[in-house]
Each structure stands twice: as structure tokens, then as C-alpha cells.
Amino acid sequence: MLELFTPHRETWLYRVNPALKFVVFFAFMLIVLFNQNFHFALNQLILYGVLVYSFSGYSWRKLLLFSVPIVISFVSSAATMMLFGKGVTIWWSWGLIKISEESFNYGLLLGFKTLSFGFISLVFLLTSRPILLFYALMQQFRLPSKYAYSFIASIRLMPVIVEELQTRSDALKIRGVHFPKGLKGIFQRLRMYTVPLFAQSIRRAQRVAVAMEAKRFQMGAKRTYYYPTTYERVDAVFVIVMVVSFASALVLSVR
């Protein structure tokens, strides 16, 4: 599992300040979300595709593997829209299903957006370490340390929670628990799985918080950081490359 997420080589994207990278990609994501122009959506998709496949530092085979779920969600979102979307110029219809020119284009637009989101997220996740993201958010973007450290503590405890969920699942299996069908079954399943998990996690979080405060962690106090993060030259390069390629995606689409 760990080997799967080890890059082939570390590209320049790895050295960009994670918080800056996050903010830039997040802004791009908002633009993708609100954009309704077909060509602009396609150009952006190409840009993010190039970013993932050339600069993430992973081999082609791994990247294709990571792209599988993204492509599946592309197909499902585009297909639903093509079959059930609204439109006037009808190409083909059968019962409730109706493919029109408009719904086909909307389907593709929706699909491009889904792919773009998938690629932006993938390139960010593959080239950044979550813990450093929070350190950089605190140092470069003034995120209050109480939030950042709560997130960091929760991320560190994630494996424990996953293990507990697995244990709970095994325990229910070995006790031969059968759930009724329908909504009642869904509720029972939800209760059986989550109540012990929540009870344990709340106790654990409470203990961690008390321990941190006992070691003089104070909300809102001035502090130093174990991992110092700064802006470097590569950050300027990153911003310039991103702005230029994004602008060209925009210009090429309005022509």
C-alpha cells in the first residue's frame, strides 16, 4: 500500500509550499465549478490532465490505475445527464429516456468538470503531505493553531479508527448479526457500527485534548513550529506557470 503511493521521482510540484498550492488549486476548482462554457471546460481539463500525467512524478501505469475511479465517475455523471437531461432537439428517445443535442452537450460538460476535479485533486494529493499542509496553513495563511492541531491529531488517529471499524465489523459478523431489509436495517446498521466508534473516539479526543493542554498547548497563544515552512523561488515559478497556462486556456476558448 505504502509502495503504491511512493513517487517515481519528486518533481518541482513537491517543493511548492503546500498551502499556496492548495489555495491556487482550490481557486481553480471554484472556477471549474461555476464555468458553463464548453470549450473553456475542455481546455481546463487538458491543462489538469497534463499536470497530472507530466508533473506528478508517478509512472504511467500507476497514474492510469489512479484514474480509474475518476473515469468511472465521468462515465456515470455524463451518461445520466445525456439520458435524462432536458433538451429540445431530440436525437433518440425510448420511454423515459431521451437523448437530445442539449442534454448530450450538458452531459459532456458535466463529465469534463468531473474529470477536471478528479485531476486537480489527484495532482494535489499525490504531491503534498497532509501534515505539512496544515503547518503551512498556520504559518503562511494564519489558520488558528487550535484548528490545525485538532486536524493533525485527528489525522494521526485515523489508523486507529479504521482498525476499530474493522474490529467492529468482524465482531458483528462473528456474532451472526443479521440486519432486516429496508430503512430499519439501514438504521440498525448505522447504530451498531457507529455508536461504539463514536463513544471510543469521543473519549480518546477528550484525553488527547486534556493531554495537550496539560503540556501547555494554549488556544490563540503565540507559538513556534516543529516544521517551519516558507515561500521559495519555486513558489513564484508555480504561480507564474499556473497563471500563464490558465490564461491561455481561457484565451483559446473565447476565440
Would you say 137 and 128 are in contact if contact means Cβ atoms under 8 Å apart? no
Q: Which of 17, 44, 103, 127 binds other proteins (CB under 8 A)?
A: 103
In the complex, minimum distance from the CB of residue 148 to other proteins, in angstroms, rounded to a whole number: 10
Report the 10 Å Cβ neighbour count for 19.
22
- 128-157: contacts with other proteins (CB under 8 A): 130, 146-147, 150-151, 153-155, 157
C-alpha cell at 119: 485531476
Would you say 16 and 235 are in contact if contact means Cβ atoms under 8 Å apart? yes
252 binds other proteins (CB under 8 A): no
118 binds other proteins (CB under 8 A): yes
29 binds other proteins (CB under 8 A): yes
In the complex, minimum distance from the CB of residue 164 to other proteins, in angstroms, rounded to a whole number: 9
Taking CB under 8 A as the binding criterion, the range among 1-9, 12-20, 95-103, 224-232 that sits at the site for other proteins is 95-103
Residue closer to other proteins by CB (options 223, 232) is 223
Would you say 82 and 15 are in contact if contact means Cβ atoms under 8 Å apart? no
234 binds other proteins (CB under 8 A): no
Return the DSSP state at 226.
Answer: S
Would you say 131 and 155 are in contact if contact means Cβ atoms under 8 Å apart? yes
18 binds other proteins (CB under 8 A): no
- 31-70: contacts with other proteins (CB under 8 A): 33-34, 36, 69
How far are the Cα atoms of 18, 134, 148, 178 from residue 223, in angstroms, in the given order?
A: 20, 15, 13, 52
Separation CA 193–CA 168 (nearest Å): 7
Separation CA 14–CA 237 (nearest Å): 13
Query: With the C-alpha atoms ordered 101, 102, 106, 112, is the resulting torsion angle positive or negative?
Result: positive
Element (H, E) at 229: none
In the complex, minimum distance from the CB of residue 197 to other proteins, in angstroms, rounded to a whole number: 6
Residue ranges binding other proteins (CB under 8 A):
25-26, 29-30, 33-34, 36, 69, 77, 80-81, 84-86, 96, 98, 103, 106, 109-110, 113, 117-118, 120-122, 124-125, 130, 146-147, 150-151, 153-155, 157-158, 161-162, 165, 183, 186-187, 190-191, 193-195, 197-199, 201-206, 208-210, 212-213, 217, 219
